[in-house]
A and B are shown apart, each in its own frame.
Chain A
Amino acid sequence: MVLSHRLGEWAGHAPVLEEEVAFANIALDLLGQARVLLSLAGDEDELAYLREERAFRNLQLVEQPNGDFAHTIARQLYFSTYQHLLYDRLATGDGPFAPLAAKAVKEVAYHRDHAEQWTLRLGDGTDESHARMRRACEALWRFTGEMFQPVQGLDVDGEQLRPAWLESVGEVLRRATLTLPEGPQSGAWSAGAGRQGLHTEPFGRMLAEMQHLHRSHPGASW
């Protein structure tokens, strides 16, 4: 839901019309997945609009501001690769998320392909796009470790996804004439922080905007 919101912020600002369509499409897929997940847990709107920042359990990676196009693509590459590996695993299991994962895995395969194609174009495009893509990959790197932390209620051990994720992202970056960033995949706070409701500063602002109207009319239906 949080990443969908971020992608929604691109509407009317994308570099080409085709990307207006693509970002909206991905945002819609993600919002659809979020609505199914939230409905499993309770009332989707109550959970989306009435929780405070400290009660949100999303990864810090997905709440990161869009930045430039390369920043958004790097975030998509990291997350959609993870999501694809995770859903692929969940879809073959018999856990409560198997039906959702079976449907969503097709969507996230497309998201992953989109992110990979753009990583190649930017990394192996011009000097400027290469530099921007490299900076974006490095800036977001320290948020990637969190994806592999254990999550309560999830019967897939995140740590098992890490090798495949590193291999896949590493390969895409190599083909894009880039390399895997060298720093640690988590900082002092970021390992598992989002899962504990510890977020980065931009997230509070995002929620303020997202929840404002809903909260201004308590009890109203829309």
Chain B
Amino acid sequence: MATAAAQKTDHTAPYDGDGTAATAEYERAFDAAVAADERIEPRDWMPDAYRATLVRQIAQHAHSEIIGMQPEANWITRAPSLRRKAILMAKVQDEAGHGLYLYSAAETLGTGRDELLDKLHSGRQKYSSIFNYPTLTWADVGAIGWLVDGAAITNQVPLCRCSYGPYARAMVRICKEESFHQRQGYELLLALSRGTPEQHAMAQDAVDRWWWPSLMMFGPPDDASQHSAQSMAWKIKRHSNDELRQRFVDICVPQAESLGLTLPDPDLKWNEERGHYDFGPIDWTEFWEVLKGNGPCNEQRITQRRRAHEEGAWVREAAAAYAAKHSETGATRA
């Protein structure tokens, strides 16, 4: 951001002795930049709480990409055709790549990937609760693509305009790939839905199991969302949880119809007056249980992640030792 408001937040400006007056001025400049829809960049001054919120959100997002590889990787070795296997492998590869972009974005805020991974492994930072559900059939791979990636996109497209530049730019790339995955998931389900009766039933069962957890991906209802108001004021968030959830439902209902599948909600009905679909109550007890670590796969997911990290320690140590020994040539190649 190279504007007047931004210049005042130059981090090289010396901090004065008494602090308060200067900080107040930085704060005014920061607020003005956010109000003017300017991007905040890594070298700009920002409130500590803004930095902390972003670190928390970006790290959680990165962790979700990494943990999110597991439920899908669960089916790589069993994919029923070579074409589907290639698509799934490419998708899981993209997710690892998204994790890398996001850790880089978090690092611009002064934290390190190792530190963030450590927080994930010790349970001090979270990942999206959706990945604590198991993939029980091949159709789950399609349901994750269509519903889970669909919900993620609905959440993430507004983040492409988020006030923090590195995060917004990472989201532009990620959203492109995510929408591609979402279409692939839809297409997978369509093939099943139009396939044999067994395949159709498999697709319906998967949608039945993934629908409500997908709606929970938008987070708690607006009146119970602790970070929402501040994140909206900082333009990290652009829409409330409930707004985005409604938008997602409105998109999914016609798609389910064209898939020839139903959504497991007897209260789902078009509301002419509101111009939206009404839908039934979400089981928030389940949501909080999963969030607290009592979902079907919480233990399994974090154990696998920790094990991969611990079992890989000797490999990382070897790479570091090699790089140190060959600092002229090795470090650049490593």
Which A residues fall within an 8 A CB radius of B?
1, 5, 8-9, 11-21, 24-25, 27-28, 31-32, 34-35, 38, 44-45, 48-49, 68-69, 117, 120-122, 124-126, 128-129, 132, 206, 209-210, 212-214, 217, 219-222
Contacts and interface: CB of A to CB of B under 8 A. Distances in A.
Contact of A8 (B77, B311, B334): B77
B97 A21 contact: yes
Contact of A209 (B77, B83, B92, B93): B77
Please name the 6 residue pairs, one residue from A and one from B, whose CB atoms are nearest each other, closest first: A15-B312, A125-B318, A129-B318, A24-B93, A11-B73, A20-B96
B76 interface: yes
B314 A128 contact: yes
User: Most A CB atoms within 10 A — which of B97, B320, B323?
Assistant: B97
B321 interface: yes
Interface in B194-228: 195-196, 198-199
Interface residues of B, number: 53
A31 B82 contact: yes
Interface in B216-265: none
A50 to B, nearest CB: 12
Given A12-B70, A38-B82, A49-B80, 15 more contacts: A8-B85, A9-B76, A11-B69, A13-B304, A19-B315, A21-B93, A21-B100, A117-B333, A117-B334, A125-B318, A125-B320, A128-B317, A210-B77, A217-B198, A221-B191
B17 to A, nearest CB: 44
B319 interface: yes
Contact of A220 (B90, B199, B313, B314): B199
Given A35-B82, A128-B314, A217 B199 contact: yes
Interface in B67-89: 69-70, 73, 76-86, 89
23 contacts: A11-B76, A11-B92, A12-B70, A15-B313, A16-B316, A17-B96, A17-B103, A20-B96, A24-B89, A31-B89, A45-B81, A49-B80, A117-B333, A122-B315, A126-B321, A128-B317, A129-B314, A209-B77, A210-B78, A213-B79, A213-B80, A222-B81, A222-B188
Interface of B: 66, 69-70, 73, 76-86, 89-90, 92-93, 96-97, 99-100, 103, 138, 188, 191-192, 195-196, 198-199, 304, 307-309, 311-323, 325-326, 333-334
Contacts of A129: 314-315, 317-318, 321
User: Most B CB atoms within 10 A — which of A15, A19, A122?
Assistant: A15
Given A35-B86, A125-B319, A126-B317, A213 B138 contact: yes
A8 B319 contact: no
Contacts of B317: 125-126, 128-129
Contacts of A35: 82-83, 86
A35 to B, nearest CB: 5
A95 B82 CA distance: 26
A24 B323 CA distance: 24
Given A21-B100, A122-B315, A222-B84, A8 B76 contact: yes
A214 B333 contact: no
Given A20-B93, A25-B93, A28-B89, A12 B78 contact: no
Nearest to B66: A17
Contacts of B80: 49, 213-214, 217, 220, 222
A24 B195 contact: no
A14 B312 contact: yes
A8 B74 CA distance: 10
Contact of B69 (A20, A27, A32, A214): A20
B63 to A, nearest CB: 11
B299 to A, nearest CB: 15
B79 to A, nearest CB: 8
Contact of A14 (B83, B103, B199, B308): B308
A75 to B, nearest CB: 15
A18 B69 CA distance: 14
Contacts of B96: 17, 20-21, 24
Contacts of B323: 121
A69 B80 CA distance: 27
Given A8-B89, A17-B66, A31-B89, A122 B318 contact: yes
Contact of B85 (A15, A21, A31, A212): A31
Contacts of B192: 222
Contacts of A128: 314, 317-318
B321 A125 contact: yes
